[in-house]
Amino acid sequence: MAKNEKVRKEAQTKKEVQEKPRETTVEFLSSLAAVLVTGLFIITFVVQAFEIPSSSMENTLLIGDHVFVNRVAFAPRTDWVGPLLPYRQVRRGDIVVFLAPCEPGLYIVKRIMGVAGDHIHLRNGVVYRNGEELKEPYVIHTQNAAEFPNPYRDNFPAVPPSESYNVYPCWEPELPMHIQGDDLVVPPGHFFAMGDNRDVSLDSRFWGFIPQENIIGRPMFIYWSFETPADQYRKTDISDRIGFLAHVVVHFFDETRWRRTFRVVK
């Protein structure tokens, strides 16, 4: 009797499984659309892929590093999702991606050296903030000061700017308005940023402060790194792009910097 009851239950279960309605084409497309919309929202508003084009942030970030940028961390707080997201203010030492102040449409990555009210100056390439010398283990110097002298770069802002020092025209007339004594003072709503590769970095010394609204986000980690020529970002012709893409396909395994994969940016 017990055996018959067990067989009956198994048959009933099998029947229920068989009678379960299959997902229709419309339901499948609806589910797919939901996934795509969610992914598009994340890519548009939460994270953004960014490629490092220059050597100004070596050795923290190398040319050819591809990073995911957190677009939420420094975004203006909103009432409806504010409590759910980890908003915070930009801090000294943060690495940020932002729109260049003097070149609309150009994305740049640098390290924040000064926030509003900070007094900044350099002496012989050493950064002083609010009168204190900064200890910067992440900084490298790739040029010999005697061989490649740049008094403006290394003794900012004591040495007046000039075109020979690659100072941007948008910054040169504004710079004197922010100098107090030996220091440059960061105004409200702005930031002073520099590259870790201090000798070759075109940064706030050369094009000025970063407005708060220009900041896109904070690089989180490197998701892929590929050995890339220093001048590759300047090659915008379609033939150059296709040629480099073909190079990537052929040398994906031997020129990918696997040791940098998923490295946290800090």
- Domains of the chain, by residue range, sit at 42-260
pLDDT of res. 42: 47
pLDDT tens-digit profile of 34-66? 555 544 544 455 678 999 999 999 999 999 999
CA-to-CA distance for 126 and 84, rounded, in angstroms?
40
Main-chain phi, psi angles of 207, to 5 degrees: -130, 5
Q: Rounded to an integer, what is the distance from CA 221 to the centroid of its chain?
A: 9
Structure tokens at 81: 């999702």
pLDDT tens-digit profile of 198-234? 999 999 999 999 999 999 999 999 999 999 998 888 8
Is 42-260 CATH 2.10.109.10? yes
Q: How far is CA 97 from CA 39, 101, 154, 169, 210, in A?
A: 21, 12, 24, 22, 11
| pTM for the model | 0.81
pLDDT of res. 207: 95
Under-70 pLDDT residues of the chain: 1-23, 25-46, 75-86
How many C-beta atoms lie closer than 10 Å to residue 94's C-beta?
21
